[in-house]
A and B are shown apart, each in its own frame.
Chain A
Amino acid sequence: MAAYRVTPALQRVLLAWKHISFNSRCCIIASHAHYSTAYDLNEKTFDKILIANRGEIACRVIKTCKKMGIKTVAVHSDVDSSAVHVKMADEAVCVGPAPTNKSYLNMDAIMEAIRKTGAQAVHPGYGFLSENKEFARRLAAEGVTFIGPDTHAIQAMGDKIESKLIAKKAKVNTIPGFDGVVKDAGEAVRIAGEIGYPVMIKASAGGGGKGMRIAWDDEETREGFRFSSQEAASSFGDDRLLIEKFIDNPRHIEIQVLADKHGNALWLNERECSIQRRNQKVVEEAPSTFLDPETRRAMGEQAVSLARAVQYSSAGTVEFLVDSKRNFYFLEMNTRLQVEHPITECITGLDLVQEMIRVAKGYPLRQKQADIPINGWALESRVYAEDPYKSFGLPSIGRLNQYQEPVNLSKVRVDSGIQEGSDISIYYDPMISKLVTYGSTRAEALRRMEEALDNYVIRGVTHNIPLLREIITHPLFVKGDISTKFLPEVYPDGFKGHQLADSERQELLATAASLFVAAQLRSQKFLGNLRVSTSQQEQKRWELSVELEKGVHAVTVSSSGSTYTVELAGKSLDVTSEWNLASALLPVSINGTQRTVQCISRSPGGEISLQYLGTVYKVTVLSKLAEALSRHMPEKVPEDTSSILRSPMPGSVVAVSVSPGDTVAEGQEICVIEAMKMQNSMTAARTAKVKSVHCKPGETVGEGDVLVELE
């Protein structure tokens, strides 16, 4: 039975495989390869590699292994037993139950899997055990190659303080600052003067940005000193202060390095990763619009010198903060393959995974620094299963009951580890895929990204495509005028979806009205039925009312073939499409403008959900008669939500801080929900008495489940 299950699955993978290689072939013809196809099968590396990871990165590594003729072993948790990476690999070993600390972080089980399968090397991907020196040590002890840097480099760069010291020694720019006891305000001003304004002052013991003050001159420094030293003494009982260069509007730009075990090290240009939410990257691009060749070279050379300083081998990333004057400062070094590596592969033509494997086997790099090009422009959008309307993205879970990647478009690369029917569970990172587009210019890559996002079909889980599409079309982003504060600055009140311009609103109304008419006409097309009235003429003109965002619009639609002429507000729009009501994608042409909209749902009551320009809009289309009568329909009173606290996402209850009968103040914490490595504090919407508590610590809750009821 097992064989029966696997065979068709394999076939599908093979099919997908053919598709991918076909794509890269196309790219070679167009002289743009996603990554190099120079796989020398005579260059012996490993016979079998175990990938100690899951999801898209495991699939990514397996793809290159296949091209290099290396057998692959997947490890998986029990819930992942039918995951894509398991199906793609030649062998698969279950390493434990769903929670990561019992499976993908379970070193004993993974070591056992290595022994059992005889894998000669391990690729750790990113996250999980990728920067775990203990894992690297245990592998070395068993004579298994770790595809990554040496234990020494992992350790040196894994420590924040040590890495900065090494960086300083290697003449890498670090953020100038002072950490220690500051006697008085005068000394604070002196230190600030040495660093250069603006400076940031805070108590050393305070974590993150807590109690942080920014001073732009001596006066503000004195004030900042006063507050921070008071706070340091009172809150932490620790007098030490941290005075550091404050980097205004910083950009997060990182340099990809690649080094071998023979002292060769290259920098593979930069990646701009400034678009972030909660310190997680959302949109990345390579190269950066901001760097000039000199800065790029300076950053690259410093990154390489840091790599050399720790005898780095394999692929790694040196992260910098860059201020508005192109001063750059070392942040940290990641000793692994980064999530966003594909964009570097696009512009350099290298296959980083292949290079990592070669280097791990001890081969020297084949390229010189002069061989590293910047060919064109690449963008990456991280497509997540999360709700972008809640703090730029709260995790969502579910089953992908429809899923279609836009891989039929040219110069689009999708790295994913899921397929139609996959479950996005609470146990793992909610990333669906990395959507990469490529072009000879940035404008071309951006245009492709727009198209790719519009053609991406994801149903069953909430996803962040609305936010991604807004970012990549935002004028500031298009101009390249961004910083790590982009999201909070551009959307100070949170993300609200695409805001329709008048012309866009008309396009949307016209499309919805046309779709309604197409569906109405189709529902009259009975085949072979002689009992349908023949005297009844097909309706040619429709008077409709379309409601969108509480605005009601009178619309007339006249049909002629597959083109519908929609008249609204004195304008006339021609909407043409094949009107395939079964397809998830609905390509339409509106007065000649091509758009791909997606019909998410259509109800008999006239409600149509359309994904248009990335955002899903709820439109209600009614005949003029139904609309006129609808004013008699009673308003349904929605449930009073201020007295009911519901879980905003699926997850597990970490703590419940109230019990029935307690009085809670507005904003007081009621309970904590953890989902996908994030803890969320749920607070009371108003001051009230707790009526009942419906959750216990340790319980799993679904989105919308009632947690606590207030009186």
Chain B
Amino acid sequence: MAAFTVASRGCRLLCGFRSLYKKFPPSHGGAVASARSELRCLPRLYSVGHVSVQERIDNKRKAALIGGGQNRIDAQHKRGKLTARERVELLLDPDTFVEYDMFVEHRCSDFGMEADHNKYPGDSVVTGQGRINGRLVYIFSQDFTVFGGSLSGAHAQKICKIMDQAMMVGAPVIGLNDSGGARIQEGVESLAGYADIFLRNVMASGVVPQISLIMGPCAGGAVYSPALTDFTFMVKDTSYLFITGPDVVKSVTNEDVTQEELGGAKTHTAVSGVAHRAFENDIDALLNLRQFFNFLPLSNKDPAPVIECQDPSDRLVPGLDTVVPFESTKAYDMLDIIQGIVDEREFFEIMPSYAKNIVVGFARMNGRTVGIVGNQPKVASGCLDINSSVKGARFVRFCDAFNIPIITFVDVPGFLPGTAQEYGGIIRHGAKLLFAFAEATIPKITVITRKAYGGAYDVMSSKHLRGDVNYAWPTAEVAVMGAKGAVQIIFRGKENQEEAEAEYVEKFANPFPAAVRGFVDDIIQPSSTRRRICRDLEVLASKKQTNPWKKHANIPL
């Protein structure tokens, strides 16, 4: 009751508790309240001098709600970060959070950890389930104010508990990471905890969507949990991901590097490709996560969600008729095409700053979530290289695992040549994208907007890889290579190269060679693309395709 009074005084920190409290009594009716106070009075008569169980419950709850205490909360705020509970409250629909394991405490008895003042109810993580726009989600939020959010055996156990249940009921898991690393005092217990989580990450992979939002430090072994999840998002300036921090780097390799340079949001979204997107601050990140969550199905047994849509599915997009420039060497922005076609121009791009020569992300067509993959002619002519292949492959596999149809826009001049690419293993990495498209059994729609050259044509969700509907725009050129290169090979050493080039262009620089063979199903007017795709998706909604039985495939990793 004491806790309740504090809550109603308006202490925001306690809102989580208040909402939990509401869950149990059907209402705040007077009868319930009085019954409760009678209950509370009884033991007091018989246990004079002792704190009653109810008071102990209240005290524990109260302690759990303020985590590491007001000073540490203030310090957290000063760093520009919200507390674990504030984050949960902002992410979930109001009054929907149901907390688990508020009373769990760590079990370490070394180094004075057993002392009462070193015990925090709930330990350094808040776990439970709740709703985002009415849909179920499991969530854990690491509490930096308790031992720097470090991972104890109990902490890991709490996370494992909600992951197990999420798998059982089929609901996504969102992790809000803000942890200094392992609880060193616990030694191997802590390491075991990490491994328990990793195992569950792997088991849940492809069963329920897993999302990590890095909202503080995340170092050492801890980084492998986000790395195993489907999406890793970061908060700019306040979050870091690295195997070893700048100090260790200095002592081992003698490199001078700041935390931000080593593992900040910019590094991981633009250079390493570890993170899928970064947001301005905690609030921006959590609100974006709510939006992102709406694109995802709850599990691999659920269909891609369909949301009410006001954008007419038969809308013509006249701007697309002129979007591809006449000169085939001139660049254009693939995002112009994507935004023109999808519902309400809304496109949630994944990895917008990494391997920009391929664009991937989520959108909706007639309300239904789709995954979009497109070559980006604006960057490196939209060629496929190591990074773009890996980026595309991982995205395609996510969509395939979670029943999200894929729409592929093709304008690809081929794979990027050069020693850097060959030495880096473009063959191995390019094969990943090929593998991903080929094994995918979700509806696959492909639109060739301009170039589809060479092996890259095959890779980009071609008819040959079980593309369900493949379209070409009138500007499409499906060929082994561009005219110049082809002529140099076919007519090597011959005169009249220009004439030969013109002949080649006439023969191959158009959609007919592919269309007459049925490798594209139709040549469509660009402005009608949205209408066509929306119709096709309706048809393909009942598509059923299975791959041969296997333990698992052997994607070239």
Contact = CB atoms under 8 A, between A and B. Distances in A.
B525 interface: yes
Interface stretch (A61-69, A522-530, A551-559): A522-530
A501 interface: no
A576 B326 CA distance: 46
Nearest to B15: A625
Contact of B305 (A419, A529, A625, A626): A529
Interface stretch (A134-142, A281-289, A531-539): A531-539
Nearest to A579: B310
Interface in A524-578: 524-529, 531-533, 536, 539
A78 B326 CA distance: 9
B524 to A, nearest CB: 11
Interface string B82-122: 10001001100110100000000000000000000000000
A582 interface: yes
B320 A421 contact: yes
Given A421-B318, A582-B344, A628 B336 contact: no
B240 to A, nearest CB: 15
Contacts of B96: 533, 536
A582 B322 contact: no
Contact of B287 (A1, A12, A626): A626
Given A531-B298, A626-B283, A401 B131 contact: no
Contacts of B470: none
Contacts of B333: 399
A630 B80 CA distance: 9
Best-buried of A525, A580, A583 by chain B (most CB within 10 Å):
A525
A633 B12 contact: no
A420 interface: yes
B12 A421 contact: no
B474 A625 contact: no
A402 to B, nearest CB: 8
B134 A633 contact: no
Given A8-B321, A421-B323, A625-B90, A533 B134 contact: yes
B527 interface: yes
B281 interface: yes
B305 A421 contact: no
Given A532-B135, A533-B135, A632-B81, A421 B291 contact: no
B73 to A, nearest CB: 10
Contact of B307 (A81, A421, A527): A527
A605 B281 CA distance: 10
B307 A525 contact: yes
A622 B367 CA distance: 25
A443 interface: no
B446 interface: no
A527 B306 contact: yes
Given A420-B318, A531-B302, A604 B291 contact: yes
A439 to B, nearest CB: 31
Contacts of B177: none
B282 interface: yes
B131 A582 contact: no
A497 interface: no
A1 B328 CA distance: 15
Contacts of B238: 634
Interface in B381-424: none
B294 interface: yes
A582 B309 contact: yes
Given A82-B322, A536-B131, A628-B12, A527 B525 contact: no
A400 interface: yes
B377 interface: no
Interface-central residue, A78, A402, A531, A532, by most chain B CB under 10 Å:
A531
A235 B89 CA distance: 73
B319 interface: yes
B319 A605 contact: no
Interface string A573-616: 00000001111000000000000000000001110000000000
A636 interface: yes
Interface in B59-94: 77, 79-82, 86, 89-90, 93-94
A629 B82 contact: yes
A419 B321 CA distance: 11
Interface in B282-301: 282-284, 287-288, 290-292, 294, 298
Given A580-B310, A622-B283, A626-B287, 17 more contacts: A4-B474, A399-B323, A399-B336, A419-B318, A421-B320, A524-B134, A525-B308, A526-B133, A531-B302, A581-B310, A583-B310, A604-B287, A626-B283, A629-B86, A629-B90, A632-B81, A633-B281
22 contacts: A4-B474, A5-B474, A8-B527, A81-B326, A399-B319, A399-B333, A402-B345, A403-B319, A421-B318, A421-B320, A527-B367, A531-B136, A532-B135, A533-B136, A539-B94, A605-B280, A605-B288, A622-B283, A626-B287, A629-B90, A629-B282, A633-B80
5 nearest A-B pairs in the assembled complex, by CB-CB distance: A421-B319, A634-B80, A582-B311, A604-B291, A525-B308
Interface of B: 12, 77, 79-82, 86, 89-90, 93-94, 96, 131, 133-136, 237-238, 279-284, 287-288, 290-292, 294, 298, 302, 305-312, 317-323, 326, 333, 336, 339-340, 343-345, 367, 474, 510, 523, 525, 527
Interface of A: 1, 4-5, 8-9, 12, 78, 81-82, 399-403, 419-422, 522-529, 531-533, 536, 539, 580-583, 604-606, 622, 625-626, 628-630, 632-634, 636
